[in-house]
Homo-oligomer: A and B are copies of this chain.
Amino acid sequence: MDDICFPIQEHAMKYYQKPEEGLDIRGVTMAVEAAFAEHGRGNVQMPPKVYVTFPHGDFRTMPAYLPGLDIAGVKVVNVHPENPGIGLPTVMAVTVILDTGTGAPRAILNATALTDLRTGSAGAIAVKYLAPKKKVTVGLVGSGRQAIAQLNAISREVEVTGVRVWSRKEKSSNAFCAQFPDFECKVSSIEKACDSDVIVTTTPSTVPLVMNQWVSEGTHINAIGADAPGKEELDPAILERAAVFVDDPAQAVHSGEINVPFARGLFTREEIAGILGDVVLGKKKRTSPDQITVFDSTGLAIQDLAIASVAMKSGRYIELPFL
């Protein structure tokens, strides 16, 4: 039977199903930070995401090439809000990796969980560089997969001394806290959650949830949830007070936290304080401990390539049998 059994393939399939299992989160964040640094240096190729719409959702195609990390490829990711009703995730993703020398298809990775992790890493990088201190309390608005990934990654870059979580369903908040027994995790009101050094918003809201008067000076906010036109989580008055950093200006005005205020003329492209790539390089930073800083994350293809490079170093991929 040996000749029709494929232990290597079985191994690959296992990792294809769960390439995220056992990944070192700090290692992922380091790779994602290296990708943002390359972005800040202008040393990446990353055309805008391409959208194709379905009756019940859409899919986005995200190609990129990172010469500095010697990796290139394409993530294909859907967004189907009705999927949970039939037991499927809203967002599913797959990444194809090409050989940078020959262009040959080299690998394919299940990128569904990797997408959460690389977004968590971007949030952690923003906190590391933009929060005014290295010991922080974290307030979470939203308690789903993205919230988990954010707290996991943030807590490896700074010391988290307390966590408050709010979500529409208290049951979800309780489940969230149960996953973080090492933190002082408390279910709270949204106002109380916002009384934290770092606020992380991860909801699919289309109306502002975080009110201006709840946000103290010196707070850093990761605005993660808004990823499509019409979505927003923050009172636009917060953006007026804050230094707003983005991953990519074009994507941010199109579909990030600033997209609604931008469309309404309440926020201009010139008001963007800088890109995370420049923050990582030290070219841009918070200008005082009292400043409010916001990181508006939309998700970049180079983050997907960075986490793919980490997963591939540990063999967590399917090798495409082309060569």
Contacts and interface: CB of A to CB of B under 8 A. Distances in A.
Given A6-B6, A7-B4, A74-B76, A322 B52 contact: no
A53 B45 CA distance: 8
A101 B7 CA distance: 33
A61 interface: yes
Given A52-B65, A72-B54, A74-B76, A83 B103 contact: yes
A49 to B, nearest CB: 10
Given A52-B47, A72-B54, A110-B322, A80 B102 contact: yes
B100 A54 contact: yes
A42 interface: no
Given A64-B52, A76-B105, A94-B320, A13 B6 contact: yes
Contacts of A158: none
A57 interface: yes
Contacts of A51: 47
Interface in A86-112: 86, 88, 92-94, 96, 98, 100-105, 108, 110, 112
Contacts of A321: 13, 16-17
A169 interface: no
Interface of A: 1, 4-7, 9-10, 13, 16-17, 45, 47, 50-59, 61, 63-65, 72-74, 76, 78-80, 83, 86, 88, 92-94, 96, 98, 100-105, 108, 110, 112, 320-323
